Amino acid sequence: MSLDLVVAAAIFIASVAVAIGLGLFVLTVVLKMQARHRKRLARVGRRRMSGRLDMEEARLMLVRQKQDSNLVVKLTEALARFIPLLDTSRLRANFRRAALEWSVGSFVAISLAVGVVIAVLMMLALGRPIYVTLLPGLLTGMLLVDRFVKFRGGRRANRFMKQLPDALDTIIRGIRSGLPVIECIAGVGQEYEDPVGGHFRAISERVMLGETLDGALWRVARVIDKPEMDFFAISIAIQVETGGSLSDALGNLAGLLRARERMKLKIKAISSEAKASALIIGALPFMMLGLLMMMSPDYVMPLFTDPRGRIMLLAGLASISVGAFVMWRMTQFEI
């Protein structure tokens, strides 16, 4: 092995290590800020008036203590100090949001399986031994599985938010006709499909079993993790304890949700040109590579057969991925 190849490999490995370290640092900061935000919402929301013990939090704490006896969970909690993605409370919240019947052990097992596959593919692509590609492969597999869980949960929450304005209109009509709030919520659970129907049926069933209405609402609000659902829970809790015009507050919320949906559609239409440009620019390198392989395969094959060519391919793929991610983030707007 020549000296230049060793230097190039060392520079590449150092760059990957620095990139992974920076990514984990940024991810740690973001997760801490999100956790701080959720705690602030909990203080303002669930414990805003009476200071009563949150029975759901107490139940989850007891369940967590029983689950923490598992060796896999203990090991995951220890690793969470260095890898924030492995925080067990965060993982369980994501599982509930995505409606997945997973445990921490199943998440670790799936992440290990995906990571091993990625490590083997990297070994074959780079021509490096498995012990060099194992750690990056495991980290990538964990990130991919975590992204899948969050994507599934976010998509389910977005479907909930799209159905929520119509559900609020049903509740408003029921309140104006003289029905109690809980009966209106039960009617929504019977008339609408999941996820709104399932969550509202769960609220009605828990209230029938003796749980308070605001407690059942905040249980669902924790799963949905959207500020609009928090406002819905706060509106009903305040109306139950202090009185007031609930129909007007819910009507304003429904109008706000519809206005935000219209604004999102306008932004989607305006940014469609930029998205199309990003797709074309991102596809050009692969199209050119395919054309060159058809026209002059001998000219291109060193990229796949020579170790330096593999490193160049991997660096180019990483650069294209970063550029595509930046362009995608530029077309995403918070409303």
Give the per-residue pLDDT at 145.
Answer: 92
pLDDT greater than 70 at residue 12: no
In angstroms, the CA 119 to CA 102 distance is 24
83-99 pLDDT tens trace = 667 777 788 888 888 88
In angstroms, the CA 2 to CA 96 distance is 53
Mean predicted confidence (pLDDT) in 140-163: 90
Give the per-residue pLDDT at 290.
Answer: 86
In angstroms, the CA 46 to CA 230 distance is 10
In angstroms, the CA 153 to CA 10 distance is 39
Q: Please compute Rg for the chain using Cα positions.
A: 25
Q: 254 with 232: CB under 8 angstroms? A: no
Could you give the C-alpha distances from 14 to 19, 35, 43, 86, 288, in angstroms and in order?
A: 9, 31, 44, 24, 30
Mean predicted confidence (pLDDT) in 239-251: 76
What is the band of 128 on the pLDDT scale with cuts at 50, 70, 90? confident
Longest dimension (CA), the chain: 84
3-state secondary structure of 162: helix
Amino acid at 94: N
Region for 103 from its dihedrals, namely left if φ exceeds 0, alpha if ψ lies in -120 to 50, beta otherwise: beta
3-state secondary structure of 77: helix
Q: 185 with 235: CB under 8 angstroms? A: no
In angstroms, the CA 299 to CA 263 distance is 50
Give the per-residue pLDDT at 5.
Answer: 62
In angstroms, the CA 97 to CA 335 distance is 21
Mean predicted confidence (pLDDT) in 294-308: 84
Highest mean pLDDT among 26-35, 80-89, 168-177, 311-320: 168-177
Could you give the C-alpha distances from 41 to 89, 152, 187, 231, 296, in angstroms and in order?
A: 17, 23, 28, 11, 61
3: closest CA among 302, 11, 311? 11
User: Which of residues 107 and 87 earns the better pLDDT score?
Assistant: 107
Write out the two tokens for 207.
């209230």
Mean predicted confidence (pLDDT) in 43-60: 46
Provide the sign of the torsion angle of the four alpha carbons 63, 68, 61, 220, taken in this order. negative
- CA end-to-end span of the chain, whole Å? 55
| DSSP for residue 195 | T
187-224 pLDDT tens trace = 998 888 888 888 999 998 888 888 888 888 888 888 88
Provide the sign of the torsion angle of the four alpha carbons 164, 166, 169, 175, taken in this order. negative
Q: What is the mean pLDDT of the chain?
A: 78
User: Which of residues 166 and 55 earns the better pLDDT score?
Assistant: 166
The 3 state secondary structure assigned to 58-98 is HHHHHHHHHHCCCHHHHHHHHHCCCCHHHCHHHHHHHHHHH
What is the band of 152 on the pLDDT scale with cuts at 50, 70, 90? very high
Could you give the C-alpha distances from 45 to 48, 220, 251, 289, in angstroms and in order?
A: 5, 13, 21, 55
Write out the two tokens for 233.
């829970």
In angstroms, the CA 291 to CA 171 distance is 59
pLDDT greater than 60 at residue 55: no
pLDDT greater than 80 at residue 258: yes
Torsions phi, psi of 46, nearest 5? Answer: -65, -35
3-state secondary structure of 303: helix
Helix (H) or strand (E) holding 46: none
158-266 has CATH 1.20.1250.20 classification = no
3-state secondary structure of 87: coil
